[in-house]
Amino acid sequence: MGMTITEKIITAHTDRENVKPGEIVECKIDLALANDITAPLSIETFEKSGATRVFDPAKIALVPDHFAPNKDIHSAIQCQMMREFAYKHNLELYFEIGRMGIEHALLPEQGLVLPGDVVIGADSHTCTYGALGAFSTGVGSTDLAAAWITGRIWFKVPGSLKFVYSGKLKPWVSGKDLILYTIGQIGVDGARYCAMEFTGETVEQLSMDDRFTMANMAIEAGAKNGIFVPDEITEEYVKARARRDYTLYDSDRDAEYEEVYEFDVSDLEPQVALPHLPENVNPVSEIPEIRIDQVVIGSCTNGRLSDLRVAAEVLKGKKVDRRVRCIIIPATQNIYKEALEEGLIETFIDAQAIVSTPTCGPCLGGHMGILAPGERAVATTNRNFKGRMGHPSSEVYLASPAVAAASAILGKIGSPEEL
């Protein structure tokens, strides 16, 4: 019986010859990460355990990105805990302000997560790294602390769902639209504790940035992980960055899947997820006129350079509606610098948008764009739960950078074709 890519990677990190869905296994890990919200909990658990050292100072990444730069005293204390732990244990992968970025954009950029890896993180969107052909998933802070000590983690092996996309994408349609459409089709629990394996002729043409976006939102369908079989596009991205050796895995032709979904996306148009679930998806052309107060372009989902290029293409020579606050957040310092060199930042400022230092900030209602009662935002983030970006009566509409930028100009939800 053949194995899926997810099963092969898990097997390679155990002492077994093969694994099957539903089995409980213990895996060696290649990288364990946490941020300024989740790391303090792990640090407290680590210290209560009596442990005196981490399993490997080169395999633990700490990134202050949620409430950093610190928004208040409490967040400053959380970052202080993380900083002191990193220095105490000589962690090589602690990223201070000025060197940090949004964790799920930063670590691939730095060549720290690679094909064939098992990566865990105390953040649900750790599944992003499946874009590289890695098995990566979120865990609780207590499990993460145990992994810091032992270098191992236990899993129930997930079953796999295969998503096959065919057709050439229309202009302004991106990986964000593919994953929103998919979640709209299967629901927020449609892939519960499964591996979402993305494949097909459409996927083969996607950039790495689009693949990161799709893998990132696998958790919004309830998945354990999202994953792509590595190809030439993957290798081109990885070879320029990798700090160590890596292994490419694929799925066997006779691998078993719990279900196979096939989507012809030739006629797919930009998608928007309405409040208050990522599954509440509609084509942008079918959305009635909805006035908005804010637009956020950024996050671990859509804050990469290609996302900013699309936003700049839409915004160039135009102005953000006077009633709209448009906040643009490059996901890392390198992305910020490249956007500056390409003139994208000038385009944003000329359009009367603001540009922030890298931060998760508004995505989780932390800072840099919290919504007031009754306000509506279009965001390139990944969740639109009630109160996600601020007041419980506010509303979040999830969309691609193209739709978000067009909406900022229009003052309502709309597409670039309306400009």
In a domain, 280, yes or no: yes
Query: Which of 262, 288, 312 finishes a domain?
Result: 262
Q: What value does the mean pLDDT take over residues 131-153?
A: 96
208 and 278 inside one domain: no
Residue 114 and residue 148 share a domain: yes
Q: What is the dihedral of CA 6, 7, 12, 18, to 10 degrees?
A: -170
Check which CATH number belongs to the domain holding 21 and give it: 3.30.499.10
pLDDT for 233: 96
Residue 54 phi/psi, 5° resolution? -85, 160
State residue 3's pLDDT score.
94
Structure tokens at 131: 């874009």
d(CA 296, CA 5): 35
Residue 270 Cα distances to 76, 117, 179, 355, angstroms: 39, 33, 11, 24
Rounded Cα–Cα distance for residues 216 and 128 (Å): 4
Q: Is residue 93 included in any domain, yes or no?
A: yes
Are 220 and 278 found together in one domain? no
pLDDT, average across residues 379-406: 96
Range of the domain at 207: 5-262
Give the pLDDT confidence of 42-79 residue by residue, as tens digits. Answer: 999 999 999 999 999 999 999 999 998 898 999 999 99
Residue 267 in any domain: the answer is no
Q: Rounded distance, CA 38 to CA 1, Å?
A: 39
Residues in the chain: 419
Residue 41, pLDDT score: 95
Same-domain status, 253 and 308 = no
- Give the three-class secondary structure for 122: coil
Residue 388 within a domain:
yes
